[in-house]
């Protein structure tokens, strides 16, 4: 495996306080790797410090972590991609354990699990983050049937084929959720690797907003649910509309059987409207499910082509 190339991907925004240590630590942990730092409009010396410590520095003007990761995936060629934040919260000594399953072909994505050993709960001082992580995990488990140990971690490794066939749509911090859902929906081989987490050092400030970013993540899950599993999504919508129609319509029907009259026409029309919309939603789900299956076939063929290109390299 020593001849396999590893790219360490570090998206950065104002991480001058920690970036030198992060680059040095990953150089020590993975001497054969190339360290890439993508500066995302930092107003401090992040890029200068990273370059001085031996990182390959690029600039991404489109603000948002998702935009940075998308450009990294497009630009960089490697056999294994290790993504990590530049805030020195993830241990570089765990990098070989994350990369090994990718390099030996037993996994397509490895996930740095901060939760299993309890260090995230002990170290993380940001209120609501643990609850948000658990909520997202529960939603993905319910929708897709796969239980991640830690779905919001920014410490992951990917195979080349995964990276080159992954459509990154998110612009911001929803990227971790998107990568997780893509991996589950496309049946990639996923492996959780427990890691030790440490909170940001004093003076380093998180860019996350618990409420606004949490809402964006939940909206991203709903959007990806609609795109990846349209029949299930629209069946749920149809069920909700049908129940609403029954709630509105049953009293009208009972009244008709009792008196032979329909006196509440607005309620009857509302009930019929709900049932009609439920039928439309279910039909839309059937149509979009056919489209999604066709797109999935095209994606599978694209994966085969990418694997053949990798074999011929």
**CATH number of the structural domain spanning residue 80:** 3.90.550.10
How high is the pLDDT of residue 149?
A: 83
Is 1 contained in some domain? no
- Same domain? For 295 and 251 the reply is yes
- Same domain? For 297 and 222 the reply is no
- Same domain? For 93 and 195 the reply is yes
Is 181 contained in some domain? yes
Residues β-bridged to residue 109: 158, 190
- Same domain? For 213 and 239 the reply is no
Of 201, 228, 255, which residue is a domain's last?
228
How high is the pLDDT of residue 40?
A: 96
How high is the pLDDT of residue 1?
A: 47
| Domain encompassing residue 109 | 6-228
How many angstroms separate the CA atoms of 99 and 82, rounded? 7
- Same domain? For 166 and 131 the reply is yes
Q: What angle is formed at CA 184 by the lines to CA 190 and CA 228, rounded to 5 degrees?
A: 160
How high is the pLDDT of residue 2?
A: 56
| Torsion sign over Cα 84, 89, 92, 94 | negative
- Same domain? For 14 and 156 the reply is yes
How high is the pLDDT of residue 46?
A: 96
Output phi, psi for 194, to 5 deg. Answer: -60, 135
Q: For the chain, which residues score pLDDT lower than 70? A: 1-2, 119-131, 203-211, 213, 313
- Same domain? For 268 and 126 the reply is no
Cα distances from 10 to residues 56, 65, 121, 166, in angstroms, run 10, 10, 24, 18
How high is the pLDDT of residue 72?
A: 97
- Same domain? For 222 and 237 the reply is no
pTM: 0.83
Of 198, 213, 228, which residue is a domain's last?
228
The residue among 43, 79, 62 whose CA lies nearest residue 170 is: 62
Other residues' Cβ atoms within 10 Å of the Cβ of residue 4: 14
Query: What tokens appear for 96 in the block?
Result: 């070989």
The domain total for the chain is 2
The answer to whether 222 and 142 are in contact (CB under 8 A) is: no
Is 131 contained in some domain? yes
| Torsion sign over Cα 83, 86, 90, 96 | positive
């Amino acid at each position: 495996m020593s001849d396999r190339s590893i790219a360490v991907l570090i998206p950065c925004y104002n991480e001058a306080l920690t970036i030198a240590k992060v680059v040095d630590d990953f150089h020590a942990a993975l001497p054969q790797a190339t360290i890439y730092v993508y500066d995302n409009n930092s107003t401090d010396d992040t890029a200068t410090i990273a370059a001085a410590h031996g990182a390959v520095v690029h600039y991404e003007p489109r603000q948002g972590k998702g935009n940075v990761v998308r450009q990294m995936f497009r630009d960089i060629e490697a056999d294994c991609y290790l993504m990590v934040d530049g805030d020195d919260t993830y241990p570089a000594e765990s990098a070989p354990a994350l990369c090994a399953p990718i390099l030996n072909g037993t996994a397509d994505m490895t996930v740095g699990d901060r939760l299993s050993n309890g260090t995230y709960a002990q170290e993380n001082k940001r209120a609501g983050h643990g609850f948000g992580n658990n909520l997202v995990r529960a939603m993905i488990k319910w929708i897709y049937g796969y239980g991640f140990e830690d779905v919001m971690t920014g410490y992951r490794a990917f195979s080349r084929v995964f990276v080159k066939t992954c459509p990154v749509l998110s612009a911001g911090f929803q990227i971790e959720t998107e990568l997780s859902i893509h991996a589950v929906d496309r049946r990639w081989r996923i492996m959780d690797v427990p890691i030790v987490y440490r909170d940001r050092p004093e003076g380093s400030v998180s860019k996350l907003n618990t409420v606004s970013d949490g809402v964006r993540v939940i909206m991203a899950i709903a959007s990806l649910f609609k795109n990846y599993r349209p029949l299930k999504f629209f069946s749920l919508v149809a069920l909700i509309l049908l129940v609403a129609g029954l709630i509105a319509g049953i009293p009208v029907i009972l009244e008709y059987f009792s008196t032979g009259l329909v006196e509440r026409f607005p309620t009857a029309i509302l009930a019929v409207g709900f049932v009609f919309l439920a039928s439309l939603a279910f039909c839309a789900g059937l149509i979009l499910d056919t489209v999604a299956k066709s797109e999935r076939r095209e994606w599978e063929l694209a994966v085969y082509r990418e694997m053949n290109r990798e074999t011929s390299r």
